[in-house]
């Protein structure tokens, strides 16, 4: 499958995890990597170019840190402008139908924070619901999100494990080796679960 990574992080100088994940993703052959903040520092998105890119790929990976329980602002701007009526939705606009969306997110909050009894009172998939429903409205399949919790408080081993897993996930998608039947049963997944989802 043709994989397009759309990476959104407005403060990369302060990033420890996402920039390392992005470096690994950018190096992959056969995966298109786009750093949205680098391409559009003034938020003036080239809608035609973005729509062309979407048409040329099968899977869209949104990589971002969760900011205020949502996407960073430029990724929201991208959705607002690129997913146009008549292109992504509406009676004549089913150009993205059948494609897939995968959110790859990092959170400051822990896994326990993202539960009904935790500080955030909801699971991470609930906060990502706007992305899920946007994909559904556009006729795309929303895959369970790949999540790294507690991204600011990780043991070095866990951070490295996640950074190593990310390109493995992208290449498995690229090569049709991600077991989607099993993945679809999960609400979300983390790097330790990935090994069971990749077929050799
Ligand atoms: C402006 C801002 C808002 C944030 N909002 C949230 C949030 O709503 N939930 C959460 O779990 N973490 C939140 N965080 C923490 C980030 O998700 C975390 O720092 C990031 O995932 C770490 O990845 P990085 O090292 O690549 O920046 C926020 C951080 C910033 C700077």
Per residue in 162-171, pLDDT (tens digit) is: 999 999 999 9
Whether 69 has a pLDDT exceeding 90, the answer reads yes
Residues with C-beta less than 6 Å from any ligand 1 atom: 15-18, 65-69, 106-109, 151-152
Q: Determine which residue's CA is closest to atom 22 belonging to ligand 1.
A: 151
Q: Please spell the DSSP secondary structure of 67-107, one letter per residue.
A: BTTB--HHHHHHHHHHS-BTTTBSTT--TTTT-EEEEEEE-
Distance 24 CA to ligand 1 centre (A): 20
Per residue in 119-161, pLDDT (tens digit) is: 999 999 999 999 999 999 999 999 999 999 999 999 989 999 9
Q: Determine which residue's CA is closest to atom 30 belonging to ligand 1.
A: 67
Task: Quote the pLDDT of residue 60.
Answer: 98
Task: Quote the pLDDT of residue 148.
Answer: 98
Q: Which helix (H) or strand (E) holds 26?
A: helix 18-26
In the chain, the number of structural domains is 1
State mean pLDDT over 20-46. Answer: 98
Per residue in 84-121, pLDDT (tens digit) is: 999 999 999 999 999 999 999 999 999 999 999 999 99
User: Which pTM was predicted?
Assistant: 0.98
Question: Which CATH number fits the domain that encloses residue 22?
Answer: 3.40.50.360
Instruction: Give 200's pLDDT tier (boundaries 50, 70, 90).
Output: confident
Domain region containing 179: 3-197
């Amino acid at each position: 499958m043709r994989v397009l990574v759309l990476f959104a992080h407005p403060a990369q100088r302060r990033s420890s995890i996402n920039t390392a994940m992005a470096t690994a993703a950018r190096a992959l052959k056969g995966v298109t990597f786009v750093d949205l903040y680098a391409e559009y520092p003034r938020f003036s998105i080239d809608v035609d170019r973005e729509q062309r890119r979407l048409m040329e790929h099968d899977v869209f990976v949104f990589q971002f840190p969760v900011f205020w329980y949502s996407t960073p602002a430029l990724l929201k701007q991208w959705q607002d402008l690129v997913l146009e009526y008549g292109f992504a939705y509406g009676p004549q606009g089913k150009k993205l139908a059948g494609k897939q969306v995968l959110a790859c997110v990092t959170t400051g909050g822990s896994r326990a924070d993202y539960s009904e009894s935790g500080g955030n009172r909801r699971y991470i998939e609930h906060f990502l619901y706007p992305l899920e429903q946007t994909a559904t409205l556009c006729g795309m399949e929303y895959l369970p999100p790949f999540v790294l919790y507690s991204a600011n408080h990780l043991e070095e081993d866990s951070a490295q494990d996640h950074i190593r897993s990310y390109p493995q996930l992208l290449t498995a998608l690229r090569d049709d080796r991600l077991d989607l039947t099993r993945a679809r049963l999960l609400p979300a997944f983390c790097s330790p679960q990935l090994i069971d989802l990749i077929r050799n």
